[in-house]
Amino acid sequence: MYISATFKELTRKRVFLVTLILTVLFMILFALGVRELAGVTGLSQASPAERMLNGMVLMVLGLFFAQLLTAFFVFFSAMGTVTGEQESGLLLAVAARSIPRWRLYLAKWLGHAVWITVYCAALFLSLVWAIHSFAGLPILIGDLLRGLVLFIWMPLLLLTLTMLGSVYLPMLGNGICSALLYGFALFSGLVEGISVYGGVNPAVEKFALVTGLLLPTDSVYRRSLYELVGGADWAGLAISDMGPFSISNVPSNAFLLYTVGYAAIMLLLGCRAFSRKDL
């Protein structure tokens, strides 16, 4: 019921329609750009190694902008989940039913998570298909599935934080706060990429580390990219020397377990805060 209700709520928002239109335009322009670039640079006549390297570079750039689209989709859809409905009076009518509030909170999270998953999967697969078809980048099914799961997990982490903020902050304030935290996490990833060449202030590196722990979305994105381009077999060829887009330190499996615990704690705090919230 809440999955269906969330979809109806999203379709009523004009920003949702604008996000979908911009996403479709991005994919069309990206696919045309990859096709034209492949024709101009002669990727079809290049050696398999050169074609693979060029395809990896395009994959890095495409997924970087794709993660920005998924983040804004989360912000627009979830930043007013609690306080927005409270201000409109809708939340009071829903919470009056004989349903524990923590179950209502989890149902709202699940409703948003389903549609965020659908959006991210469609965006990810479309982008990978464009690069595979036009740039000739070979992609194994196992690498694709691991990259897809991690790419979807990234906005779900952002969703848990955004929904927790919606319990305490007004809709606009929550959107700004979540966007700033996401920006700091993105900045920490760029700093790690620059640190490959040395010369980064230790204080900046510590700031990037703390930010990455507060919101580990960028680390999950980099692990997704690492898995997609072949992991340890091929990743070092192209994505270890791309300036701020480089992946110097690949997040470990232990860090992925940390993100699972992170999401569980955020959901627990959200359920507890929503249960005590004065409606």
**How many angstroms separate the Cα of 92 from the Cα of each of 56, 87, 161, 208, 279?**
50, 9, 23, 40, 6
Give the number of other CB atoms < 10 A from CB of residue 59.
Answer: 25
pLDDT at 158 (0 to 100): 93
DSSP state of 198: S
pLDDT band for position 62 (50/70/90)? confident
Query: For residue 51, what are its two tokens?
Result: 């074609």
Query: For residue 253, what are its two tokens?
Result: 């499996």
pLDDT at 49 over 60: yes
Phi, psi of 222 (to 5 degrees): -65, -35
Model confidence over 135-172: pLDDT tens digits?
A: 777 788 888 899 999 999 999 999 999 999 888 888 88
pLDDT at 15 over 60: yes
pLDDT band for position 123 (50/70/90)? very high
pLDDT at 228 (0 to 100): 84
Instruction: Please state the length of the chain.
Output: 279
Sign of CA dihedral 91, 97, 100, 106: negative
Model confidence over 177-216: pLDDT tens digits?
A: 888 989 888 887 777 777 666 656 677 667 777 877 888 8
Average pLDDT over residues 68-88: 80
The answer to whether 127 and 30 have CB atoms below 8 angstroms apart is yes
pLDDT at 263 over 80: yes
Q: How far apart are CA 100 and CA 97, in angstroms?
A: 9
Q: At what angle do helices 2-12 and 101-130 cross, to 10 degrees?
A: 60
Model confidence over 101-110: pLDDT tens digits?
A: 788 888 888 8
Question: Which stretch, 18-22, 214-218, 260-264, has highest mean pLDDT?
Answer: 260-264
Residue of 143, 180, 126 lying closest to 158 (CA atoms): 180
Average pLDDT over residues 25-41: 80
Which residues 6+ apart lie within 8 Å of 253 measured at CB?
none
The reported pTM is: 0.85
Q: DSSP letters along 218-248, please?
A: HHHHHHHHHHHTTGGGTHHHHTTSSGGG--S
Decide which of 92 and 24 is more confident: 24
